[in-house]
Structure 1
Amino acid sequence: MRVSELSRSSGVPVATIKYYLREGLLHRGASTSPNQARYDESHLRRLRLIRALVEVGGLPIATVKDVLGAVDDPATGMHEVLGRTVYAITGTGGDEAGAFADAAEADVRVMTAHAGWHVSERAPALAGARSVLARLHELGQAPGDDTLRLWAEAADRAAEGDLRAIAHGDDREGAAETALIGTVLGDALLAALRRIAQESHSAARFRPECARADGETMDSSTIG
């Protein structure tokens, strides 16, 4: 297909495709004349991954190049490819609230030990978790060990589901795209599901009732 057809099929403007070509994010097509080239499905797959990295992941071009370099390097194992992808979109949070850093680190150890996780110390998510936990301590809302273990179990099951989606594929670009989109949109979905579950559990435990003088009860939804 010509570049105009590649643009229509991918939804990426021609000018943007040419920019990706100049920056080396997209490989050159097969030359058919001095000013013409033909593109194929491999270009569509790469554009889909680039769009996911830029539009969903919000990554700068330099970071996109790093991720694509790992995808294209056959010497880079799939674990590292996925690591480069997920690390690139993972924030580390703010500072660790000074005096509460040790408490936050202890909380992280409780969760990693309970779940049996083995993770690099340079994982940005570790720093992010410590930052959030330190803030909870600072605000007087430190979770107990039972809560930490429940959170770890929930996260572990979610991560297992994420990896099942890519564990059996041979397509490195597809795996990176799935990891990226699954992480970004999966985070949003898990947050929404958590709030749904919170409402359900809250209703079961704390549904407010107002005692009437005649001894009847009234659900909060009927209170004017």
Structure 2
Amino acid sequence: MSRTVHPFQAAGTIMPLQINDVAPNFTAETTEGTIDFYDWAGDSWVVLFSHPKDFTPVCTTELGAVARLKPEFDKRGVKVIGLSVDPVDNHAKWAQDIAETQGTAPNYPMIGDTELKVAKLYGMLPADTAGTSEGRTPANNATVRNVFIIGPDKLIKLLIVYPMTTGRNFQEILRVIDSMQLTARHKVATPSDWKQGEDVIITGAVSNEEADTLFPGYKTHKPYLRTTKQPA
């Protein structure tokens, strides 16, 4: 697959990735061996989340949080993969600290992006960034703090960039996945702060006549705002 090119993109430049762009494929060393990203992902949903450096405090808590939540990702058919710019050997040492301080070591692969290839490919560092991870600090890798959710079609469904001082809310990531998986199957959208089991919004693409069949008993609050029980 080739990624979507925006009409204002100049020849030879790389635009930041956006929702509905194709997630670029890559080969990388991980804590679970060498992977081809597309082959590893298969037909699953994927969460790829990145880190500017090993042995950083906020990231330590995040990696532990994802390890504890892995059964929830598994239940949703979602594969999780982390990335840090340091070598895989460092990841293994860091995992010991994570287990000691967070109660659980990472139980998913961690990419060692020492040549910054994936960070640049995914627009987390400028394409002309020189050198390797050697000598770089969390400060000059501060933009390697992204969450990408990638669908089975290899399109980017969500991306969030976090500052280094704010830990990521992975319960929110799970909530978003629940919404996206539901709305991929049914002609609905989810309202603000929606959680599993709550009412959903019927999309504007559904006529009232079709809604009568698909969502009997739905409520019309405004012509453009119709709600219904969450589809099973």
TM-score, length of structure 1 as denominator length: 0.26
TM-score, length of structure 2 as denominator length: 0.25
Which has the larger helix fraction? 1
**The structure with more radius of gyration:** 1
